[in-house]
């Protein structure tokens, strides 16, 4: 089992920035790809970003490309999501996820997920 704990959510004005963190209880090869999904009220959960185990493969949803940056520090078993130029459409609960590959994770077939952290962007 891998536990994922998100932090860093909150309320921010439109145009502002937030950095989310996701701490994993341990690192496993079988679930080494990490990523972020989000779910807004009344909407389905959607992919945001994914990063491979050593950070060489990165994917972003078109809606966040150029504004969000995913990164990881394997020494700390932590993944980050730097979110800049936030707008009201970014308001959602953000979930950290883990899977065997970035391709699997992007498809929504992740093995582990956290409890989520709320991000609210005030316009």
Furthest-apart CA pair in the chain: how many Å?
41
Q: What is the pLDDT of residues 16-26, one digit of tens each?
A: 999 999 999 98
Q: What is the pLDDT of residue 121?
A: 98
Predicted confidence (pLDDT) per residue in 48-96, tens digit: 999 999 999 999 999 999 999 999 999 999 999 999 999 999 999 999 9
Give the Cα separation of 70 and 32 in Å (integer).
14
Q: What percent of the chain has pLDDT over 70?
A: 100
pLDDT score recorded for residue 66: 98
| CB contact at 8 A, 61 and 69 | no
Cβ-Cβ contacts under 8 Å for 101 (sequence gap 6 or more): 33, 52
- pLDDT of 29 above 80: no
pLDDT of 54 reads 93
How many residues can be counted in the chain? 123
Give the pLDDT of residue 71.
97
Q: What is the Cα–Cα distance from 32 to 55, expressed in whole angstroms?
A: 10
How much is the pLDDT for 102?
94
| pLDDT beyond 90 at 1 | no
């Amino acid at each position: 089992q891998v536990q994922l704990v998100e932090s860093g959510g909150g309320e921010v004005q439109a145009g502002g920035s937030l950095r989310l963190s996701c701490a994993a209880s341990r690192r496993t090869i079988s679930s080494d790809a990490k990523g972020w999904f989000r779910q807004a009220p009344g909407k389905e959960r959607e992919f945001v970003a994914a990063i491979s185990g050593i950070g060489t493969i990165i994917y972003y949803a078109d809606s966040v490309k150029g504004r969000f940056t995913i990164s990881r520090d394997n020494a700390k078993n932590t993944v980050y999501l730097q979110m800049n130029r936030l707008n009201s459409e970014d308001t959602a609960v953000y979930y950290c996820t883990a899977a065997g590959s970035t391709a699997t994770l992007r498809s929504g077939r992740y093995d582990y997920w956290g409890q989520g952290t709320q991000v609210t962007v005030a316009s």
